Structure 1
Amino acid sequence: MSGPIVSIIVPVYNAEKTIQRCVESILGQDFQDFELLLIDDGSQDTSGELCDAFARQDARVRVFHKENGGVSAARNLGLSQAQGVYLQFLDSDDWITADATTMLVRTAREYRCDLVISDFYRVVGDRVSHKGDIQEDAVLSREEYAAHMMERPADFYYGVLWNKLYRREIVERHHLRMNPEISWCEDFMFNLEYIRYAERFYALQVPIYYYVKTKGSLASQYLSIPKTIRMKLMVFEYYNRFFKTVLDEEEYERSRLKVYKFLVDAAGDGAVPPAILPGSQKLGDERVSVPAQAMEGEGLLLDLFRERKLLEAYVETVALKYDLSMQEIRLLLYLSQSPWEGTRKDLAEILDISRAALTMAVQKLSSRSLVWADGGQTDEKKGGRSWRLTCMDEARPVLADLAIARGDFEQACTAGIDPEELARYYATEEKIRNNIRRALQ
């Protein structure tokens, strides 16, 4: 019997207040072929019992209880027990979006990557902000990835485990493990060793992980503690040796000042801007959400609303990846099926957005060479200026991702329906669509 596609490892220590949210976000993933390894690191509260309860409820959950030895030892135990093709990590006070594992695995498979790194959300209280760094939409070599890392050497984006997907085969072949003797940047040291053996990298520019800032953590104390300084010097030796391995001698000499920048940079996770500044949002507003009343209620309008929200939830990842608004994504989704020739008023009504929002969407997409727009002539019979809109060649990557999102949406809608039932459903749906067209004529 083959093992799972992904092993998700979560160290747990005195996390009774947060473990429920963390585990439920994992078990609620769209991607189902995973095992969840909960490593109870000698918790003194009810965390261990909560982990056991999850294992009783879901066969994919495996729990290991051990004496307290720190997060690195807990992760090492998880690595020794993992059976998946890929490795994914979470901290017990954090959580992930419902499409997180799907996005990571799909990217790794599509681009044949050894490491996928993603953007994340940083959460402080009820505020959240989107954090990332690499903006290249292409496979990166080891040298290219290292060059990005060199620019912001101590940034959490590169240093932590939880916004990445690893190949377990590389970890096991080279006997990679966390160093339990280090309690600062131990994740980064593991990453440096892993990167030495990885060849293909991809940056997923979609935030899929919610990192909760914990007061009093060592990372938040920066270099004020002598022990932290000593550990940073130790980590720097790893860091310096890594670049001597990755770069040739001439390139290393040219880049040495950037390499040494690590010594003066503190471990940084980025700060959530105050509410008055752009970039910070109220937690819950950052992704598509549905009011509880709409989830529970019945009725034609609620059914239509839920269907639209589900579609938005899937295409939203494309909007985040390409820095597009939902209005712009709606327009591209329409144009991906058929060019438009008609009035601004009619198209705005079809897309269920204002005419001003439509105009702004067309202007932005045109400026990025994603959409070709021709203002045309004023059509008095139709009551407005006729527009001609069509997607340009530069939009192909966006349209390809939209097609995948639409497929995911349709799969979610038809889950659990056998092929024969599905064929009858599609035939009936086509008849209903034709009836609606006739009734509207």
Structure 2
Amino acid sequence: MTQVSDTDLSIIIPVYQVSEELLLRCLKSVQEIQDLRKEVILVADGPDQEVCSNPAIQAFAGEAEFKISFYEKQHEGVSAARNYGIDHAGGTWIFFMDADDYICADAFRKVCPLLKKEEIDLAVMDYSMIQGEECSRHYYKKEMEAMNPVCFQKDILKPQSGAGFVWAKLYRREWLQETGVRFDTELSAAEDAEFMLRVALKNPRILNVPYNSYYYCYNSDSAVHSFREDYAGRYIDGMKKIRMDLEKEKVMARLQDEYDSCVLYHLLLIAVNYSFHPENPVTGKKRIENFRILLKKEMFRNSLKNVHPENFSMTRKVTLICIQLHLYRMVQLIAGVRHRQRRK
């Protein structure tokens, strides 16, 4: 028998190294959602996350007209925190947020009644990126339409489509329970895309809803853009896991082109955020030499033979061409320009 939930929406928010100001902004945006029974699940990823016990956060929770649950666990990363949230959610629908972002409340007022009339497991919505004073809207599909899971699988492997992000999506909680899909806690990079791929490989009933639901706030100082010695290895592990998922479901041949594009997209991230990062302690010709060694890895070598330019922006197309032509100083120059743009 299907259990009837008395909560429409469970919003799961991992909390790690976020300020009181940003977390309050996040929670206040949830408060604006009208006509829905909602709960927020805050999962502090580490015992030192004192922001959840901050007087201002506690005061907000005490006055909120919706339930805010606080959970504290040992530091295991965002994937473990999200899984913990899923296990404690009680809503019909689950929505993931980052603590330094905020939502467009009106989208939920419009979409949730619609989903009650449809047999849907996953609703895909739009999002906007906030970078400084600029706000750019990202449309996945501009029309409301049911989606083929196979097409969605392909789009997840095309990072610029936005399909691989876990936020700006509503997941039917019972469907997640039935399928057992959870985040891979062994991954610390590309974990969103890997999770979304396994969701799509379970052939959910998908509805694209062209409502702006989420504001992603770009932070040039975030850990994603900081230099880490293990940066390349983390993304390589993510690509290996995605390949394992595709091979397990026997769909590798069908999705080979898209997988190669996914690998190359992450190669470009590695070039900017690792190989030619300004804080990389390796300097001069050694950086280029190390990048050459990286390109000898089988996954990069094979994917570079199968470039699909239509899956990349113009800047990324140019960078890939430079890599193919062994113009590594140009790749280094492009990475330097990218870092200067971030600092503005």
TM-score band, normalised by shorter chain: 0.5 to 0.7
Return the offset for 1:144. Answer: 2.4
Are 2:17 and 1:11 equivalent residues in the alignment? no
Partner of 1:232: 235
Partner of 2:61: 55
Partner of 2:313: none
Distance 1:268 1:98 in 2: 35
Residue 113 of structure 1 aligns to a residue whose secondary structure is coil
Distance 1:2 1:106 in 2: 15
Return the offset for 1:146. Answer: 1.8
* Contact residue 29 and residue 99 of structure 1 kept, 8 A: yes
Matches within 5 A, 1:3-42: 3-13=6-16, 14-41=18-45, 42=47
TM-score (normalised: structure 2): 0.67
Does the C-alpha gap of structure 1 residues 199 and 107 become closer, same or farther in structure 2, counting only changes over 3 Å?
A: same
Does the C-alpha gap of structure 1 residues 180 and 239 become closer, same or farther in structure 2, counting only changes over 3 Å?
A: closer
Return the offset for 1:102. Answer: 2.4
* Contact residue 190 and residue 239 of structure 2 kept, 8 A: no
Are 2:86 and 1:79 equivalent residues in the alignment? yes
Amino acid at match of 1:57: E
Structure 1 alignment gaps of length 5 or more: 270-441
Distance 2:246 2:188 in 1: 23
TM-score (normalised: structure 1): 0.54
| Residues 106-155 of structure 1: CA deviation (Å, up to 9, x unaligned) | 343343221111111100111111113334532012112223334x2x23
| Residues 169-205 of structure 1: CA deviation (Å, up to 9, x unaligned) | 1222233322233221222222222222242112222
Return the offset for 1:242. Answer: 4.2
Residue 146 of structure 2 aligns to a residue whose secondary structure is coil
Return the offset for 1:218. Answer: 4.5
* Contact residue 115 and residue 200 of structure 1 kept, 8 A: yes
Amino acid at match of 1:60: K
Distance 2:8 2:231 in 1: 37
Does the C-alpha gap of structure 1 residues 184 and 263 become closer, same or farther in structure 2, counting only changes over 3 Å?
A: same
Return the offset for 1:267. Answer: 9.2
* Contact residue 143 and residue 246 of structure 1 kept, 8 A: no
State the structure with bigger RCO (CA 8 A, min sep 6), 1 or 2: 2
Distance 2:125 2:162 in 1: 8
Return the offset for 1:27. Answer: 1.3
Does the C-alpha gap of structure 1 residues 206 and 32 become closer, same or farther in structure 2, counting only changes over 3 Å?
A: closer
* Contact residue 134 and residue 148 of structure 1 kept, 8 A: no
* Contact residue 120 and residue 207 of structure 1 kept, 8 A: yes
Matches within 5 A, 1:12-161: 12-13=15-16, 14-41=18-45, 42-49=47-54, 50-58=56-64, 59-150=66-157, 152=158, 154-155=159-160, 157-161=162-166
Does the C-alpha gap of structure 1 residues 46 and 233 become closer, same or farther in structure 2, counting only changes over 3 Å?
A: closer
Matches within 5 A, 1:144-223: 144-150=151-157, 152=158, 154-155=159-160, 157-220=162-225
Structure 2 alignment gaps of length 5 or more: 270-344
Amino acid at match of 2:237: M
* Contact residue 155 and residue 161 of structure 2 kept, 8 A: no
Tell me how large the CA RMSD over aligned residues is. 2.8
Distance 2:167 2:254 in 1: 32
Identity within the alignment, %: 24
